[in-house]
Structure formats: structure tokens, C-alpha cells
Structure 1
């Protein structure tokens, strides 16, 4: 075979259990991307690198068909401690329990949080319930000296920031 007639498959490759290489499945590519972004997110300056946070959240939540409410735990210097999916709901809502969020903050010694949830509808606009929940959580967390830095809504590729909208 001549070099001119040889063509490379441009897909990403993964090694199977037998040691052979094969083309990666789409979900394997997404999982690898999530691991890379999560590594960049952990210990990073979340507020000085909002693009890394947004990229991570778009991949993690942007294509889900059900609502998920998560928190990004931050230390006193606003470095990421951990991303935790707290509650899973239906296509249009999820139940969020402030007590459970406070417990998780205390267990991780969080100084601040970024609240996150998705809208499977693709519409990033916050509902009145989203606004009330944010205020409830902000008030509950203030009692244990945990600051809510932002609440982000992920709707496909769009991400809305409560802080940027003046809703926090």
C-alpha cells in the first residue's frame, strides 16, 4: 500500500479490554471531556474562570431530559471543592430541600456555593419558583456563614446567571 492511498480515520480511539483500539462511542467522548473539565474545575479559581465552569455545565447538564439541581462547593478563596448533583426531578421540575444543601456545605466545610440547575425545555429564563428558591437558599445558608455566589440555569447551550441579571 502506498502512502498516498492510505487514509487515517479522524475519530478518537479507545483501547478495549483486549488491548485493541477502536473508534470511541459518543458517550465515551463526552465522559472523557467531562473528566478533563472536572479536573480543570477542581481547585480552580471558579470566579476568575467562568468559561471553564460554563463549559463543564453545558456538557454535564445541557442535554439532559430531566431537571437536576446541583451545587458547586467553594472554599474561602472561591476555589472549587466539589461539584455535587443534589436532586433529580422530572422534565419540568425538581424538589430541592434547603436542609440537605446546608448539611452538604457543613460536611465539605464550604465557604461559598454556586447553585446550578437545568431547564430541559431549552428556555433559560428563571421562573418565579426559581427566584424564590434562590432567596430561600441564600437566607438558609447565610445562617451558617455560607455565601451564595451565583445561581446558574443551563438550558442547552445557553446559561443564565442570576448574579449577572441582578437577581441575587
Structure 2
């Protein structure tokens, strides 16, 4: 493991494999464990990748034999740090100019959620990120959304535009009739108060749907 640490400190982290990175993380969080490389290999096999491990819900991580309180805390801390770094980068740029970065961030936040979560990205007049907030959590296939509450929060933050986001735990990001209707209601409520809905993104498992790209923002398709 010392050789892996040396490569990290030497700026070669991008050349390391997922299991090597996880070995270092587990070695730091569980110094008394003599075989972090074995546990790291098993964890990568279970969760698919280092990114998949970081994004896994806590309950899934807790169900994996070998992870203790220190390793779980280290994994979730690193995940939160990665999300904050991604948000900070978007706050300094126009969010919609780099759709790959936006989708990557939203996927990291929502793709492995087992229940629906509705989030709103609040943007300034130049489409830079002001805030990303979870507005509601629901069931495996439904989240209650209140358009007036969404718009009220946009006004509080002095946002000029918003991006609606939610996940489909089924993995299929195809919009439901309820998704289309809710989107149309938010678009209309926002329009009345001068707030623009830039997009509604549904995140699935490795897939997503952009209402803007599909021409669905008015909810009538």
C-alpha cells in the first residue's frame, strides 16, 4: 500500500485503478486491518466501481461485510466532498454550457437512490448555480411536488431560472403522465412570477431524459 500512497502523493492518482484508490482509503480509515486490498477488491466487485461505491446509499454499504463505522464515514465523507467540488465548479460557470458535467453531477447525487427524490437547481440571470436543494422525497414511484413552493423558494433565492430534477428508481427515465403534468404546472407558476424553467431532468440507472431536449417542457406531448 505504501507504493500506492507514493504514487498518489506524486500526482499519479489518475493512473491508479479503482481497487488501488479504495485500498488507500480503507487503509487510512482502518489502520488495524492487515488486508485492505482484499476488502477493496471485494467491494469494487460488489459495487461495480469506485464511483459506484461512493454513490451507494448508506444502507447498502452497511450491508456489506467488512465495512465498519470508520470506513463508512470515510466513504460518505469522500462522496460529499466530491459532490461539493462538483457544485463549486458549476457555481463559477454557466450550468447549461457543459451538459456532460451537469448530468454527471446529477447522476452522482441521484442514480442509486431507491426512492424518488425531487430536487431543484436554482440559477442566476447568467445560468450559474445559486443552490441545489432537495424539495421532497417520496416513494419508489411517486414524489409529491407543490409548484407554488418551488417558485416561492426561487423568489427567496432571487433565482432567474430553475432546473427541475428527479430520479426514477426503476432505472427507466421515461416521463410518466404525472411527470408531464407536474412540469407544466411548475412552468406556468414560474412564468407568472418571471422565473424560467430551463429543463426538467429525470435520472435513471445510467440513463436520463432532458425535457428541454425532448421538447417536453410544456407537458403537452
Range class of TM-score, shorter chain: 0.7 to 0.9
**Pick aligned residue for 1:112 from 161, 182, 194:** 161
- In the alignment, the residues of structure 1 paired with residue 131 and residue 189 of structure 2 have an alpha-carbon distance, to the nearest angstrom, of 20
User: Is the helix fraction higher in 1 or 2?
Assistant: 2
Query: 1:11 aligns to what?
Result: 21
**Pick aligned residue for 2:196 from 124, 147, 157:** 147
Structure 1 regions of 5+ residues with no counterpart?
Answer: 1-5
Where does 1:1-80 land on structure 2 (aligned, <5 Å)?
7-8=3-4, 10-11=20-21, 13=24, 21-22=28-29, 25-80=74-129
Query: 1:94 aligns to what?
Result: 143
Count of aligned pairs: 159
1:137 equivalent to 2:186? Answer yes
Q: What is the CA RMSD across the aligned residues, in angstroms? A: 2.1
TM-score by length of 1: 0.86
How far has the Cα of 1:68 moved from its partner? 0.6
Once structures 1 and 2 are overlaid, which stretch shifts more, 27-36 or 48-57? Answer: 27-36
Q: Which consecutive aligned stretches of 4+ in structure 1 deviate over 6 angstroms post-superposition?
A: none
- In the alignment, the residues of structure 2 paired with residue 82 and residue 61 of structure 1 have an alpha-carbon distance, to the nearest angstrom, of 16
Query: 1:127 aligns to what?
Result: 176
Structure having greater relative contact order (Cα 8 Å, sep ≥ 6)? 1
1:83 equivalent to 2:147? Answer no
How far has the Cα of 1:7 moved from its partner? 4.4
User: Is the strand fraction higher in 1 or 2?
Assistant: 1
Structure 2 regions of 5+ residues with no counterpart?
Answer: 6-19, 31-70
